[in-house]
Amino acid sequence: MTSKGRPAPQRKKKKSKSGQEPKYKWVSTRLLDDVFTDEISLFKPHFEVDYEAYLQRLWESNPEIQRILKNVPDLETARSGMYEYLEQAERRVFDLTNDLHILEKSTVRESIRVFRSVIGPINEFRTEFSALDSLWKLARNNRKELKSEISVGFIMEFINLFRGVTGKSNIYLENAEVKKGIPEFLKMKGREAAVARTEILDDFGSSVQKYFKKYPSGLEEEVIGWRRENRARILRYFNGTDADWNDYRWHLKHVIKTAKPLLDLIELTNEQKEAVDVASRNKIPFGITPYYLSLMDSKRSIGYDHAIRAQVIPPKEYVDKMVEHRADRNRSFDFMGEHDTSPVDLVTRRYPVIAILKPFNSCAQICVYCQRNWEIESVLEPKALASRERIDRALAWFDDHKSVGDVLITGGDPMVMKDIQIKRIMDVLASKKHIYRIRIGTRTPVVLPMRMHPELMAMLSKYHELPRREIAVVTHFEHSYEITPESMEAVQRFRKAGMSVYNQEVFTLENSRRFETAKLRKDLKSIGVDPYYTFNLKGKEETSKYMVPIARILQERKEEARLLPGLDRTDEPVFNVPKLGKNHLRAGQDRRLVMILPDGSRVYEFHPWEKNITALPPYNYVDVPIYDYLEELAARGENIRDYRTIWYYY
């Protein structure tokens, strides 16, 4: 059984969460002491996982810990023994005779810090689970006394943690401990040193380009050709013309809200068709613009459009959960606690100088993982626009709170409103002298780029009066495959009017493969968009299928984004703490790992942005298991060995 309690997938027949057959089969090859590619790799035949082999590997990874846990009579004695062991392990790092590489020593110290946190009594109390108790019982073979079923994901976490505290992380692919040493190029001087270093950097650069080729953008000639055919097919289906295609109102009129047009125009899996049918019958927000549909591959076998489909075609689990909570979704799915951070209707505030204004609570189409799916009734809901009275009260609120100088107009998508409605709001905000920036949060450059017509641009540019007031656009590209000549033209219209365009990416299963997000950053910069935020997907239970471990975001930032020029990686990876706001994931001092649960989930304690300014309580977050994530990547044809360092990002 896997860590989710379901049968492990058969090696050659596993389908990924996207419903597509993987392009490459997972192959097990033996490599010295590598848990990803040896005989107990993630996939085993006959729908089995060899649990005993994982346990054996656990104790082989650190026999000293097994000895301590096996020979003590109770949990508190085990705890004392572990604290003593960790203290000695840390002291050994500083011994003159310790010949581990200094970078491996850093991993040792970090692993020890995490281990101490996980076995701390206060963390056991707060999380209502003791990983140490489970390890103690496993070491003594007292499995019947375990309070929870212990998964392979849990064991894998501790295999790597056990290795980490002894300097055997294998991060640097050494067959033994990483020894002290100086690379050859650092022993050289002048041109000889530069040439040797260049060879190393060329290898890095070639690796980046190899990965980038896996993720084509919509600017490539072949892709443009496919989409030209898609556009013609869609226009025939809706009896439209080329002039219609360039009119955003035509697209809004023909937003796809049922499964039939999808079935007629592209290939769907049976599960996707069923999910769309259930969403339509139960009035769960669902919609796709004809333009965005044209970005999808007509045949599933092409497979480049997985991220595009996943954003708008809901999975069965999502639909079922939305149906289950139809009556109480306003509370159940409000992960960010906006009910508790709204001082007046249509306004959300979590920061001193920034506030959000939400005049329109629908969009041109619906993203499955939308943060505000709890308040969106349907795509292009007729009542989506707030009443004039409510909008006026919200705008008047800013007069009494002059510390707010930056206003983000979002929703929903405010750019779906009529020009005259946008103008009225902009007029009022621009009249307030304390407001120095108005940001417009919109996905129309991605899903409806023809909305950026010259009249709208002329109207918005009148409010862009530097240095008095800045108008900026914050949009949401998820994948390079969304970047098209049309979206580039929409972005450039803002840029030519002097307005900056920023991107907020949501880090999901669909854009988290090696260098997938790095490629997006590069392609965004090529059309004039600055990467701004990379969001950890909100911890909403209905979208758990899309979630990625926090460790993967940290790994991506360090091992992939870091290889790009600074101008290509201007985004900040963040976790949104409910009710409080953004926690910057690069600021390691603002979070700590406090527990590893039976299914392999890590529990993080996130500190608020106000830390060191004012005392507010932290927030405990249960992450998705790394093992489950790697299992899904393997099903999609990824070489899991490429991700081996993920366990050491805490």
- Report pLDDT digits (tens) over 398-435: 999 999 999 999 988 999 999 999 999 999 999 999 99
Compute mean pLDDT per 10 residues along the chain, 650 residues long, and list them.
31 43 33 41 52 93 97 97 98 92 94 98 97 98 92 96 93 63 87 95 94 97 97 98 97 93 92 86 87 94 90 86 69 64 93 96 85 67 91 98 97 94 98 98 98 97 97 98 98 98 96 98 98 85 85 97 96 89 91 97 94 91 95 92 95
Beta strands 406-411 and 437-441: pairing type? parallel
Is 570 within 8 Å of 533 (Cβ atoms)?
no
pLDDT in tens, 265-299: 999 988 888 888 888 888 788 899 999 999 999 88
Query: What's the pLDDT at 336?
Result: 59
Looking at CATH, the fold of the domain delimited by 334-587 is given as TIM Barrel (3.20.20)
Residues 6+ apart with CB under 8 A from 170: 33, 34, 163, 644
Output the six-digit token pair for 418. Answer: 């009529």
Is 528 within 8 Å of 497 (Cβ atoms)?
no
| Alpha carbon distance 249, 540 (integer Å) | 33
| Alpha carbon distance 398, 189 (integer Å) | 62
Amino acid at 406: D
Residue extents of the structural domains in the chain: 1-181+588-650, 221-321, 334-587
Maximum separation of any 2 CA atoms in the chain, in Å: 80
Closest of 330, 411, 321, 318 to residue 368, by C-alpha: 318
- DSSP codes joined into one string, 148-199: SPPPHHHHHHHHHHHHHTTT---TT--SSPPBP---HHHH--HHHHHHHHHH
**Residue 550, CA distances (Å) to 59, 106, 131, 277, 422 in order:** 27, 20, 20, 33, 37
Query: What's the pLDDT at 327?
Result: 62
- The number of angstroms, rounded, from the C-alpha of 314 to the middle of its chain's C-alpha atoms is 17
Query: What's the pLDDT at 175?
Result: 46
Is 552 within 8 Å of 523 (Cβ atoms)?
no
DSSP helix/strand/coil, 450 = helix
Closest of 276, 457, 432, 448 to residue 357, by C-alpha: 432
Is 50 within 8 Å of 35 (Cβ atoms)?
no
Closest of 137, 168, 164, 166 to residue 150, by C-alpha: 137
* Count of alpha carbons within 13 angstroms of residue 582, beta-carbon side: 13
**Residue 543, CA distances (Å) to 21, 316, 540 in order:** 22, 10, 6
Count CB atoms within 10 A of the CB of residue 17.
16
Query: What's the pLDDT at 375?
Result: 67
pTM given for the model: 0.90
| Alpha carbon distance 366, 492 (integer Å) | 25
Closest of 427, 435, 418, 432 to residue 462, by C-alpha: 427
Query: What's the pLDDT at 335?
Result: 61
Beta strands 470-475 and 437-441: pairing type? parallel
Query: What's the pLDDT at 282?
Result: 81
Query: What's the pLDDT at 333?
Result: 57
**Which residues lie across from 344 on neighbouring strands?**
347
- DSSP codes joined into one string, 381-421: -TT-BPPHHHHHHHHHHGGG-TT--EEEEEES-GGGS-HHH
| Alpha carbon distance 296, 133 (integer Å) | 50
| Alpha carbon distance 69, 63 (integer Å) | 10
